[in-house]
């Protein structure tokens, strides 16, 4: 699959090569998100050197590292280095002698640190000393978000404050998925995003199936021989330190336990013991904490925990509770089970995408265009009144947006839009959220609307999948 997007990240990394004193970049993000592909693309464009660590012993790691530098420094891999300090000093001397500024890319850095804990301090001394004098640009990356976050942002880490660029690489937006899989409509894009999220590795595996999303899910995920059938277990095991002990929390949340007390009850553990493991899952980008809109006073009681990654949501809904069934039945029955869950999974993803798009929608919707930019959107529930899918306030605080999200896999007809408008009208306005002088706006988020149904809508903004996908895919 071709290289998608990441132009902003490439530009930021490329700017480091213009620094005379050299620089350090730290890149991290969840596994399969495309860190190595980004770094290889930058390495190719800039004429750099790329080395990737593994789980070998320290001496073996050093030898592999030295040999990976041979394409630029032919004799470098022939020498033997007694420790990392000697290797790094020799590298700085070679780079200075040839006026080579890099980039030197060290991928999967946590494996090196795991085999040589003192290396973090040695790298700090090298970055501050010999590498700076040689003007070297160095990039360090890793998929263990726990360790990489600590190396870059923990004030107790030797590398804290050294990075000129600290990039948390996010998943790709849904618009790129449409191009990757050759999808023909925005509805298909939302459906595919509900399966693969923004993770390029999953897109790469799904690419041969094109628009046949059901076949892709069956053969890649549901089939016990599929490459993604045990993906969450592998991903948790690959973390450093291993995160396999967090699997029960994902099982509980994926099965519908969203409150802390519910998760604790499913696991038979006190709720007070779950703060740290839940925090790590959130750091890994697998779980998110959701609170009602502007609920500060009682946020703890109303807080919900949800699986944040679309693929993990699918897996814990489809595979985790049905593994024995999936191992015994043919593809036809696997697909029947999938069809029972597919609409709910897509609807949940559509609702999340709709909320995420709100801060970027002002310029695209005439009804909302004079309101100024919108702040982040959230759900509203638990106040004794109706629930709202989308609530947001304008940045200047003078406007409030109330939105209803509906999903269906075809264009909404006149009858459907009329019913949605009636639902919106019945909900009224939560007056406790509307201070004097605040102007209230309402919106319907529908994947697609028939042209003749638009005549029913006047003072309500209609947001379609095309609007949402364009807003999320455009450069910020």
End-to-end CA distance of the chain: 25
Per-residue tens of pLDDT for the chain, all 476 residues: 677 778 899 999 999 999 888 899 999 888 889 999 999 999 999 999 999 998 889 999 999 999 999 999 988 888 889 999 999 999 999 999 999 998 999 999 888 888 888 888 899 999 999 999 999 999 999 877 667 767 766 777 777 778 889 898 999 999 999 989 999 999 999 999 999 999 999 999 999 999 999 999 999 999 999 999 999 999 999 887 889 999 999 999 999 999 999 999 999 999 999 999 999 999 888 999 999 987 654 556 789 999 999 999 999 999 999 999 999 999 999 999 999 999 999 999 999 999 999 988 865 555 565 676 888 999 998 777 789 999 999 888 888 999 999 999 999 999 998 999 888 888 888 887 888 888 888 899 999 999 888 777 777 888 999 999 999 987 66
Look at phi and psi of residue 102 and say left if phi exceeds 0, alpha if psi is from -120 to 50, else beta: left
Crossing angle of helices 465-473 and 186-196, in 10° steps, is: 60
- Cα torsion 221, 225, 231, 233: sign: positive
CA angle 320, 34, 341 (to 5 degrees): 30
Residue 9, preceding peptide bond in cis (omega within 30° of 0): no
Contact 462, 322 (CB under 8 A): no
Domains of the chain: 7-168 (3.40.50.300), 175-351 (1.10.10), 353-473 (3.40.1350)
Query: What is the structure's pLDDT at 460?
Result: 85
Buried b (16+ CB within 10 A) or exposed e, 311-331: bbbbbbbbbbebeeebeeeee
Identify the sign of the CA torsion 430, 433, 436, 440: negative
Check residue 362 and give its pLDDT. Answer: 67
Contact 260, 274 (CB under 8 A): yes
471 vs 468: CA distance, rounded Å: 5
Which among 425, 461, 456, 419 is positioned nearest to 441, based on CA atoms? 461
To which residue do tokens 């699986």 refer?
307
**pLDDT given at position 96:** 93
Q: Which residues contact 294 (CB under 8 A, 6 or more apart)?
A: 378, 391, 433
The pLDDT value given to residue 47: 93
Burial class (CB in 10 A: 0-12, 13-18, 19+), 416: middle
Which candidate, 116, 98, 96, places its Cα nearest to that of 106? 116
pLDDT reported for residue 407: 95
- Rounded Cα gap, residues 253 and 6, in angstroms: 32
Q: Which of 78, 84, 96, 379 is nearest to 258 (CA)?
A: 379
Q: CB under 8 Å to 126, separation ≥6 — which residues?
A: 85, 88, 89, 92
């Amino acid at each position: 699959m071709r290289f998608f997007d990441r132009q902003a990240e490439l530009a930021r990394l490329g700017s480091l090569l213009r620094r005379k004193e050299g620089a350090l970049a730290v890149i991290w993000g969840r596994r399969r998100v495309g860190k190595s592909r980004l770094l290889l693309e930058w390495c190719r464009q800039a004429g750099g050197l790329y080395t990737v660590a593994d789980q070998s012993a320290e001496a073996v790691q050093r030898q592999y590292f030295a040999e990976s530098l041979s394409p630029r420094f032919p004799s470098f891999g022939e020498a033997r280095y007694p420790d990392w300090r000697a290797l790094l000093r020799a590298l700085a001397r070679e780079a200075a002698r040839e006026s080579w500024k890099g980039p030197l890319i060290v991928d999967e850095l946590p494996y090196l640190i795991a085999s040589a804990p003192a290396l973090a301090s040695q790298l700090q001394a090298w970055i501050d000393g010999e590498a700076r004098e040689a003007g070297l640009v160095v990039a360090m990356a890793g998929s263990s978000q726990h360790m990489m976050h600590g190396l870059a942002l923990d004030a107790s880490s030797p590398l804290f404050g050294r990075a000129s660029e600290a990039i948390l690489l996010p998943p790709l937006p849904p618009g790129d998925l449409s191009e990757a899989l050759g999808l023909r409509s925005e509805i298909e894009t939302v459906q595919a995003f509900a399966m693969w999220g923004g993770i390029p590795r999953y897109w790469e595996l799904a690419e041969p199936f094109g628009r046949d999303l059901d076949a892709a899910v069956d053969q890649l995920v549901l089939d016990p021989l599929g490459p993604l059938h045990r993906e969450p277990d592998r991903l948790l095991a690959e973390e450093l330190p291993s995160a396999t002990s967090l699997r029960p929390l994902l099982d509980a949340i994926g099965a519908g336990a969203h409150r802390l007390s519910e998760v604790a009850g499913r696991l038979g553990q006190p709720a007070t013991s779950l703060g740290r493991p839940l925090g790590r899952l959130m750091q890994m980008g697998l779980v998110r904490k959701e609170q009602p809109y502007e609920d500060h006073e009682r946020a703890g009681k109303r807080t919900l925990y949800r699986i944040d990654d679309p693929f993990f949501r699918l897996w814990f809904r489809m595979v985790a509770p049905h593994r024995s069934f999936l191992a015994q039945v043919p593809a036809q029955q696997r697909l029947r089970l999938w069809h029972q869950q597919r609409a709910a999974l897509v609807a949940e993803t559509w609702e999340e995408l709709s909320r995420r798009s709100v801060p970027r929608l002002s310029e695209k919707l005439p009804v909302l265009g004079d309101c100024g930019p919108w702040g982040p959107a959230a759900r509203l529930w638990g106040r004794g009144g109706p629930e709202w899918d989308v609530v947001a306030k304008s940045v200047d605080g003078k406007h409030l947006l109330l939105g209803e999200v509906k999903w269906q896999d075809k264009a909404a007809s006149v009858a459907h839009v009329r019913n949605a408008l009636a639902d919106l009208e019945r909900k009224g306005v939560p007056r406790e959220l509307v201070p004097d002088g605040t102007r209230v706006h309402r919106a319907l988020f529908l994947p697609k609307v028939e042209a003749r149904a638009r005549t029913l809508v006047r003072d309500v903004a209609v947001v379609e999948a095309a609007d949402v996908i364009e807003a999320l895919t455009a450069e910020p």
